[in-house]
Amino acid sequence: PACSMGNSTSRLYSALAKTLSSSTVSQHQACLEQPDSARLDPIDPKDLLEECQIVLQKRPPRFQRDFVDLKKNAVSNHRPIRVMQWNILAQALGEGKDNFVQCPMEALKWEERKCLILEEILAYKPDILCLQEVDHYFDTFEPLLSRLGYQCTFFPKPWSPCLDVEQNNGPDGCALFFLKERFELINSANIRLTAMKLKTNQVAIAQTLKCNETGRLFCIAVTHLKARTGWERFRSAQGCDLLQNLKNITQGAKIPLIVCGDFNAEPTEEVYREFSNSSLNLNSAYKLLSPDGQSEPPYTTWKIRPSGECRHTLDYIWYSQHALNVNSALGLLTEEQIGPNRLPSFNYPSDHLSLVCDFSFNQDPDRLL
């Protein structure tokens, strides 16, 4: 259907359209070689959201998810820092390998799925965004998010399963984005995780940022551990390696830490216990949604594959509990919202739910260590 777009958005529409039509390599190259000025031209998030909604007008509206206030009368003298964690589902895997038997192929079309992903990000306006399974970094997320004011970092898997899929868009990997007006990058490390002294195919990004408002330093890390049952010991070794790296980067918990990730591990696994019991004094933010503050959510991913239904808690936001408070956390989708065919769907672009938390700094962190 023809839709009227005012002048303010027609210029922007071409920006979104440019990323829409980048399926072929030649177009992909052209996109990478755009002059910087075209990419630095800032975008108003409201305009981009409007563009996404035009593309999505035949899809059902976004689900309503509410933030749960978790502040225990904590007084904060600064704006909270909003952190979003999300495995967005690599396009090549969604279409090629993941076998979501109840999800119509139509629902996975990148042109529209991309807009659902962007709509979710724009709805929650994170200060820091941690993504896994990103295989459209160069043609979509980096060009658009950099124009929304984010500094962007991408670290692909050395050997991505996306590369086995015909007409893939390159390897998938982890990506980290932070708002340049809020934070200054102090240092950045791309970490290739090891297990039993061997380099593995899984990666992490860890960045030390300075909060411009408070002058406080903190470290933000994103990772995606090895998938599948039978690999529990391997994940445990990867977790140990990541923790060792983070101990060095945070000078043994002197610098507060937030770790976002798809750990591919239920809370019963060894790697979860390693993070819970680490000397970095980490807690899992989403436990705070449970009545006793001690239990993880019942699921963060829910899909149907040929082998059956998979409902698991695999995604986490860990934080230094002596130095940071969780002010609020975004509630998960209910079973009714998810619906009988589970995820992904026409309503929701990934098989994993996004997690979003608002953090504030404790006034006197050392006292609590």
Q: Report the CATH number that the domain containing residue 310 is assigned in CATH.
A: 3.60.10.10
Q: Is the pLDDT of residue 58 over 70?
A: yes
**Per-residue model confidence as pLDDT tens digits over 67-121:** 999 987 667 778 999 999 999 999 999 987 677 888 999 999 999 999 999 999 9
Taking the chain, what is the end-to-end CA distance rounded to the nearest angstrom?
Answer: 59
Query: Which domain does 204 fall in, by range?
Result: 84-364
Residue 220 lies in a domain: yes
Residue 18 lies in a domain: no
Q: What is the pLDDT of residue 10?
A: 45
**Per-residue model confidence as pLDDT tens digits over 181-196:** 999 999 999 999 999 8
Q: What is the pLDDT of residue 368?
A: 47
Residue 153 lies in a domain: yes
pLDDT band at 8 (very low <50, low <70, confident <90, very high): very low
Q: What is the pLDDT of residue 20?
A: 56
How many structural domains does the chain have? 1
Residue 314 lies in a domain: yes
**Per-residue model confidence as pLDDT tens digits over 219-259:** 999 999 999 999 999 999 999 999 999 999 999 999 999 99
**Per-residue model confidence as pLDDT tens digits over 146-162:** 999 999 999 999 999 99
Residue 21 lies in a domain: no
Q: What is the pLDDT of residue 287?
A: 97
Give 175 or 17, the one with higher predicted confidence.
175
Q: What is the pTM of this model?
A: 0.90
86 and 352 in contact (C-beta within 8 Å)?
A: yes
Q: What is the pLDDT of residue 26?
A: 43
Q: Is the peptide bond before 126 cis (omega within 30 degrees of 0)?
A: no
**Per-residue model confidence as pLDDT tens digits over 348-357:** 999 999 999 9
Tokens matching residue 151 = 């500094």
Residue 278 lies in a domain: yes
Q: Which amino acid is at 40?
A: L
Mean of all residue pLDDT scores within the chain:
89
pLDDT band at 316 (very low <50, low <70, confident <90, very high): very high
Residue 63 lies in a domain: no
Q: Is the pLDDT of residue 37 over 80?
A: no
**Per-residue model confidence as pLDDT tens digits over 328-340:** 999 999 999 998 8
Residue 161 lies in a domain: yes
Q: Cβ neighbours of residue 256 under 8 Å, at least 6 residues apart?
A: 216, 217, 218, 219, 250, 319, 320, 323, 324, 361, 365
Beta carbons within 10 angstroms of residue 13's beta carbon: 18
